[in-house]
Amino acid sequence: MSKIQNKLSKSFQSFNKSPYSSVKISSYFDVYDALFSKYIGKNITFVEVGVLGGGSLFMWRDFFGPNARIIGIDLNPGAKRWEKDDFEIYIGSQSDPLFWKKTLEDIGEVDVVLDDGGHTYEQQIITVESCKKSMKDGGMIVVEDTHTSYMRKFGPKKYSFINYAHNITNRINDRFYALSRNNVKETSIYSVRFFQCFVVFDINRELSTEPHEGIENNKNNTNQVDYRFYSHKLVFYLEKIINEKGIIQKLLILKPLLKIIRHIILIYISFVTRFKLRKYFKNS
């Protein structure tokens, strides 16, 4: 972020006003403004994980305004000192589900959780899994410093936080079929947003479980043939032979055989496509 952008950023201004030390990455302020500006001046409950130095607590109080309830969570008992400044402080491990259960029962419903804690995969994943049950609809869980998913020492790579977030994304997209099977696996998180070093989980239980069905606008139907799988010339011409009127229509026995051939060709095309697309997944 340039110095000019910094001056225009509300969150950066609050960061600078904080009377105590806080360390942020310059690119974060644009994300903070984009995510949190809608809460300014509102009666919200904001929970931040990782507050020992105190600087971020004062930053968020200035950013959101006096109506916001600012709550800090830290593993170090030294963070309790900020209670004298009217912040609510809870001491415990963010990787402990029992700590979260007890703490969230005490706090009540939450609008925003910002995880700026230890950044290990275990800490980040358990924080999301524990907090989503206590989030208000329309709220969000924001996990920052997610670049640790590409660094050593923060946990086993197979179970990185980014892989977890991708798994949630798969569950969300699977809802298209899961709803019809009454087998929805993710009923709290409605959407997932990815920013550089940030993952945002938007909470909306109603939209996450809302039934859906295909609808038409009942306008004139031109009955066009769907060519989505026919970009390969072999399939295109085969489909043309099958559907056009002529000798094939008269020799009905050939039509099922041609459909089988078409299916085999599609399998072959899928096999070839795998090698074409592999280069786009090399760094995944």
Domain boundaries, the chain: 3-208, 233-281
Residue 259 has a pLDDT of 73
The pLDDT profile of the chain, 284 residues, written as one tens digit per residue, is 455 455 679 999 999 999 999 999 999 999 999 999 999 999 999 999 999 999 999 999 999 999 999 999 999 999 999 999 999 999 999 999 999 999 999 999 999 999 999 999 999 999 999 999 999 999 999 999 999 999 989 999 999 999 999 999 998 888 877 666 767 777 899 999 999 999 999 999 998 888 777 788 888 887 776 666 666 666 666 666 666 655 555 555 666 777 787 778 778 778 888 888 888 887 65
C-alpha dihedral sign at 47, 49, 50, 52: positive
CATH superfamily of 3-208: Vaccinia Virus protein VP39 (3.40.50.150)
Looking at residue 255, its pLDDT comes to: 66
Q: Is 227 helix (H, G, I), strand (E, B) or coil?
A: coil
State residue 190's pLDDT score.
95
pLDDT of residue 116: 97
CA dihedral 171, 49, 31, 134 (to 10 degrees): 40
Terminal alpha carbon distance of the chain: 27
What pLDDT shows up at residue 283? Answer: 65
Tell me, what's the pLDDT at 159? 96
- Indicate the pTM of the whole model: 0.84
